[in-house]
Amino acid sequence: MTSLLFSIILAALLSATSLIVVVLRVSPLTSPGQALPAFFASILLAVAATATILLYALWKWFPLHAWDEGKILSISLRQGIFLGLGTIILIFFHLLGVLTWWIGILIYVVFLLIELAMQY
C-alpha cells in the first residue's frame, strides 16, 4: 500500500469522525457561524475521501486502461473531489430552498462533463 493511499484512508476515517462529531455535538442554533462551515468542511472531506477510496477500488477491480498505481490514484482523487464538491453544492441549494430533482441531476452532470473533458 502506498503512503498516499494510506493517507487518504486515514483522512477518510478522521473526516468521518469529524462529521459525526459535528452532527452530534455542534448546535447550529447556538453558534451558526461555526456550525455551518464545520459541517460543510467535514462533509466535503468525508465524501471526497470515501469516494476516492471507492473509486480507486473500482478502477483497480475493472482495469480499463494500463495505468500505474499513481495515475489511478490521482484520477480517483480528482473524481472524489468532484463528487464532494457536487454534494456540497447540492446541500447548499437544499439549504437555500431551490433544490429540485432535476437541478440535482444537472449539478452532477456538470461535474461529469468536467471530468470527461479533463481526461482528453
Query: What is the Cα–Cα distance from 15 to 39, expressed in whole angstroms?
Result: 11
Query: What is the Cα–Cα distance from 64 to 47, expressed in whole angstroms?
Result: 24
pLDDT digits (tens, 9 = 90+) for 33-50: 888 899 999 999 999 999
Query: What is the Cα–Cα distance from 15 to 18, expressed in whole angstroms?
Result: 5
Report residue 29's pLDDT band, with 50, 70 and 90 as the boundaries. Answer: confident
pLDDT computed for residue 120 by the predictor? 56
Orientation of helix 3-25 relative to helix 69-96, angle to 10°: 20
Q: Please, are residues 91 and 40 in contact by the beta-carbon 8 Å criterion?
A: yes
